[in-house]
Amino acid sequence: MKNAVSTRIRFARNLAGVKFLSSMTSKEKRELLLRIKDEAKKTGDFDFIDMSALSDIRAGELVEKHLISPEFGENREDCGVLLSKDGETSIMINEEDHLRIQVIMPGECLEETFRKAKELEKQLDEVLHFAYSEELGYLTHCPSNIGTGMRASVMIHLPAMTETGAIGRLPSVLSQNGLTLRGLYGEGTRAGGAIYQISNRVSLGLSEEEIIERLSAMVKKIEETENSLAKKLFENEQTVDRVSRALGILKYARSISSSEALKLLSDVRFGAENGVLDNDISVIDKLSYEVQPCSMEIAADGKNRDAVRADKIRNTL
């Protein structure tokens, strides 16, 4: 399961007896925000961030770390987020629904991530009482989320499928299984460094467990395809040369852009996945988050971002 970068479970939830956000005034939204924040804090030790007060760069950093959605990072008026100390749990308040409860963990760990998210969701339900219909399940703003209100995603690195073009056949295969392929930051985004998101397309008509099972089985299948394609690519010395050079450049560059760094880190991960390089994959994944534009802008603290990025990579590898 070395291709999986991370696993994410998120539940879309709305409070029973409370209007959807689209029908609320700004004042009502702020009142809801404070109410949810106060109640949610009873369930765990969270830091609260008032999104309206956040700078673009800081919001961008949360997006890069997958703690909030890109849309939530863009439209921050009357929004807030609760973050757990371990960086794995986030509760977006007033995103599209009243709450988006999310747990993200490294690697492929659908069962564990689901358990952790479900437990938090239950605790929140006890204090907030979510809108639920016996017939439809959890009620959400967008019909595609009605039912379980759950989206389970695996972020997965597929360099060989990308290079050979096999990735082009994946969407239709996934679709037949009620799943979908997205870019690294959700619908319509690019797959940066050959990392894709595989998740369930609908959340109605299947139980949470069935969704997890289907996704898990599909991820396993995709990894098998990826690995057999990778094996063939590495029979060519040029592939070995390319991933080794990528490591050399990362270890020696004095200035590097975000996109080049992600491309080269993807190559190094490709080498490590296939035993050609002996780099620690978790170190590469951590770097891949850290070198992104907003995170780097904050770390650079006024200094040249590309130079600080190169230093960071050199010192880490």
Q: Closest approach of Cβ 81 to a second copy, in Å?
A: 37
Q: How far is the C-alpha of 150 from the C-alpha of 202, rounded, in Å?
A: 9
CB-based contact 12:161 (threshold 8 Å):
no
Two tokens at 198? Answer: 């595989």
Residue 238 within binding range of a second copy, rule CB under 8 A: yes
Site for a second copy in 201-220 (CB under 8 A): none
Angle between helices 110-128 and 26-40 (to 10 degrees): 110
Residue 247 within binding range of a second copy, rule CB under 8 A: yes
Residue 307 within binding range of a second copy, rule CB under 8 A: yes
Q: Which of 241, 282, 286, 303 binds a second copy (CB under 8 A)?
A: 241
Q: How far is the C-alpha of 95 from the C-alpha of 74, rounded, in Å?
A: 11
Q: What is the DSSP string of 54-73?
A: S-HHHHHHHHHTTSS-HHHH
Q: How far is the C-alpha of 29 from the C-alpha of 39, rounded, in Å?
A: 15
Q: Closest approach of Cβ 236 to a second copy, in Å?
A: 10
Closest CA to 109 of 225, 233, 8: 8
Helix and strand numbers, DSSP H then E, in the chain: 12, 10
Q: Closest approach of Cβ 211 to a second copy, in Å?
A: 43
Q: Closest approach of Cβ 242 to a second copy, in Å?
A: 9
Q: Encode 219-246: b = buried (16+ Cβ within 10 Å), e = exposed.
A: beebbebbeebbeebbeeeebbebbeeb
Site for a second copy in 18-57 (CB under 8 A): none
Residue 253 within binding range of a second copy, rule CB under 8 A: yes
Q: Closest approach of Cβ 238 to a second copy, in Å?
A: 7
CB-based contact 97:19 (threshold 8 Å):
no
Q: Which of 227, 244, 259, 316 binds a second copy (CB under 8 A)?
A: 244
Residue 299 within binding range of a second copy, rule CB under 8 A: no
Q: Which of 25, 144, 207, 255 binds a second copy (CB under 8 A)?
A: 255
Residue 251 within binding range of a second copy, rule CB under 8 A: yes
Two tokens at 143? Answer: 């019909």
Count of positions on this chain that bind a second copy (CB under 8 A)? 19
Residue placing its CB nearer to a second copy in the complex, 49 or 277: 277
Q: What ranges in the chain are assigned the alpha helix state H?
A: 26-40, 56-64, 70-74, 110-128, 159-164, 170-176, 208-233, 237-252, 258-273, 281-290, 293-300, 305-316
Residue placing its CB nearer to a second copy in the complex, 114 or 234: 234
Residue 303 within binding range of a second copy, rule CB under 8 A: no
Closest CA to 295 of 67, 3, 48, 5: 67
Q: Which of 42, 190, 245, 286 binds a second copy (CB under 8 A)?
A: 245
Q: Closest approach of Cβ 286 to a second copy, in Å?
A: 21
Two tokens at 218? Answer: 């599909």
Residue placing its CB nearer to a second copy in the complex, 133 or 255: 255
Residue placing its CB nearer to a second copy in the complex, 137 or 271: 271
Residue 313 within binding range of a second copy, rule CB under 8 A: no
Q: Which of 187, 252, 282, 303 binds a second copy (CB under 8 A)?
A: 252
List residues near a second copy by CB under 8 A: 237-238, 240-241, 244-245, 247-256, 304, 307, 310
